[in-house]
Amino acid sequence: MKTFSFPNFNGKHLLTPVFAPHHLYAKAPAVSSKLVIIFSPYLETILRRMLKLTSVPKNESIGLTASWTPKNLITPDRKMIIIRLEPGAPFSAAISDVAIHCGVNQILVLGDAGGIGKNLNLHDIVICTKAIRDEGTSHHYIAPSKYVSPSMRLTNAIAKELSSEGVKTIKGPTWTTDAIFAETLSEIRSYSDEGVLTVDMEAAAVFAVAKKRGVSAAAVFNISDIVGRKWSGIAETRTAGYNRLSKAAKVFSRI
């Protein structure tokens, strides 16, 4: 039986795509140098208040098509934009790619993640040190490898600043997968034994885009559920974790 590498077309990350961000924005909107990608409306509410965010004018907003432009929010000094997306690697990667074309050179992913590491608790804050590439998107951007890393300079700077804000964090790898309903106990045990702390849906893809385009990216997670033990459910009361997670955006704005 014939087997296939992934992606199926070997070496495609070295080839030139036929559709790229410059086709959407021949003249890039004047956006900020920093992008924060979030996924929760609750976190958005906290960030709006903390950072005094306002909406980006429609003619300056970035998206993938005229009909699919997510809400773009911006800080008063216009140095950082925040975009809330639906969860998942493809759109996170695509928006990151477009944002880079429009002038962004630092990207921070802030989201929930399942805890698979030993001794994790709900609402722990985990700073991602590398991501297992078990989703599809990253493999179309960079050469095959098990892991892709964030910018360690940016990651360490965020960790240091969070510590100065009194936020206790844990550092470790994540497992990025597209299939939330196909995570198995065997995988969880194997990755946990390797020291992997979390499972998420976006980090590997965003890190790969950043690596491909030569910019910096990092990810910080709130533990929303514990996976692989007795099912705890997804925590509905996220205020404690989100208040700490929001401080990652605050320190990112000043790095």
Instruction: Kindly list the structural domains of the chain, giving each domain's residue range(s) and its CATH number in brackets, ordered by start.
Output: 26-254 (3.40.50.1580)
Give CA–CA dist 130/204, Å, rounded. Answer: 8
What's residue 231's pLDDT? 63
Strands (E), the chain: 34-38, 54-55, 72-74, 80-84, 106-115, 125-134, 147-148, 170-177, 198-200, 216-226
Per-residue burial over 5-29, b = 16 or more CB atoms within 10 Å of its CB, e = otherwise: eeeeeeeebeeeeeeebeebeeebb
What's residue 235's pLDDT? 61
Radius of gyration of the chain (CA): 18
Low-confidence stretches of the chain (pLDDT beneath 70) = 1-4, 230-238
Give CA–CA dist 44/162, Å, rounded. Answer: 19
What's residue 234's pLDDT? 66
- The bridge status of strand 125-134 relative to strand 216-226 is antiparallel
Give CA–CA dist 53/35, Å, rounded. Answer: 13
What's residue 198's pLDDT? 98
What's residue 142's pLDDT? 97
Which of these, 134, 129, 128, 90, lies nearest to 112 by C-alpha position?
128
